[in-house]
Amino acid sequence: MSARRIVALSGGVGGAKLADGLMRVLPQDTLTVVVNTGDDFRHLGLHISPDIDTVLYTLCGLANPETGWGRRNETWQFMQALASLGGETWFRLGDADLAMHIERTRRLDSGQKLSSIVADCAHRLGIRAEVLPMTDAPVRTRVDTTEGRLDFQDYFVRRQCAPVVSGLRYDGAARAEPVHSAVAAIRSAAAILICPSNPYLSIAPMLAVPGLRQALRDAEAPVIAVSPLINGAAVKGPTAKIMAELGLPVCAPEIARHYGDLIDGFVLDERDAALADQIDIPVCLADTLMKDIDDRERVARASLAFAERLRAEMIA
């Protein structure tokens, strides 16, 4: 690839891994990662941005590979002391991780935009990619379940995705302006990748922001999605469970159908090769399982090569 801009849309763990692979194989400062903020919430008075932090920690090598959230080599003195004071401990906040939440909250409350804060943090953490929240406006994913409507973190962390999902809402998305530089990056991109994040919980809130969806529609570059399912199962998280609960076929082609005409190509895991003919857009078969850094780079290279091929075809 030349030094043209590449945009990745990412949620948490799976998306962050591909973003990391992209950053590693691309020329410096050509990657823009636009991150879901539908999971953001206030907890203990702190503004928590789970997906942004997973992306930041992953891109600077601080991510905790065991949990998929938080930092490696974390300590838990704060949580222990909080428990002794009767505080809420269902959402785990590590000692070092707290710095991110306290500093972000301080800056937000002093009037700074989330996008400026994230950009500054990325810079200070030595990350050589642009990391942007999808919007500076509040968007809050709510999960309709057979037990009622739940705030995202209530569903995801406190209830550990146990309630049966009947629907999803992205409150605030319809009136949220996308971050300007995210739209600008999409406009000038050579390729746009929808990372293998949960399509319903992590990517959908982004697509629910009208300006971001429109920017993807208007993009000259190919938009390709990388399948978050392998063999009808997600590597991590409740994608398959939610699809089943929503009455959807639990398979990669359903993900391609879900993105519809927003995408120009689909990266399907090679284990699902037999399903390729159920997808009516160009498909790239690849080993999409990312266990180590080499895997991340491999999936990044395969996705970029696929995008480049589609681009050449679109121009031709």
> Which residues lie near its own copies (CB under 8 A)?
44-46, 71, 74-75, 77-82, 84-87, 94-100, 102-103, 105-106, 109, 120-121, 124-125
Residue 56: CB minimum distance to its own copies, A = 10
Amino acid of residue 179: V
Q: Give, as one character, the DSSP assignment of residue 27.
A: P
Shortest Cβ distance from residue 83 to its own copies (Å)? 8
Q: How far apart are CA 146 and CA 165, in angstroms?
A: 7
CB of 42 to its own copies, least distance (A): 10
The residue (of 100 and 290) whose beta carbon lies closer to its own copies is 100
Least separation in angstroms between residue 111's CB and its own copies is 13
Between 57 and 152, CB nearer to its own copies: 57
User: In whole angstroms, how close is the CB of 80 to its own copies at the nearest point?
Assistant: 7
Task: Identify whether the C-beta of residue 288 lies closer than 8 Å to the C-beta of residue 11.
Answer: no
d(CA 285, CA 27): 25
In the complex with its own copies, the residue whose CB is nearer, 100 or 310, is 100
Contact status, residue 43 vs residue 17, Cβ threshold 8 Å = no
Smaller CB separation from its own copies, 125 or 137: 125
Residue 96 CA to residue 118 CA, distance in Å, equals: 17
Between 25 and 93, CB nearer to its own copies? 93
The gap between the terminal CA atoms of the chain, to the nearest Å, is 18
> Residue 8's beta-bridge partner residues?
33, 193
Contact 154, 119 (CB under 8 A): no
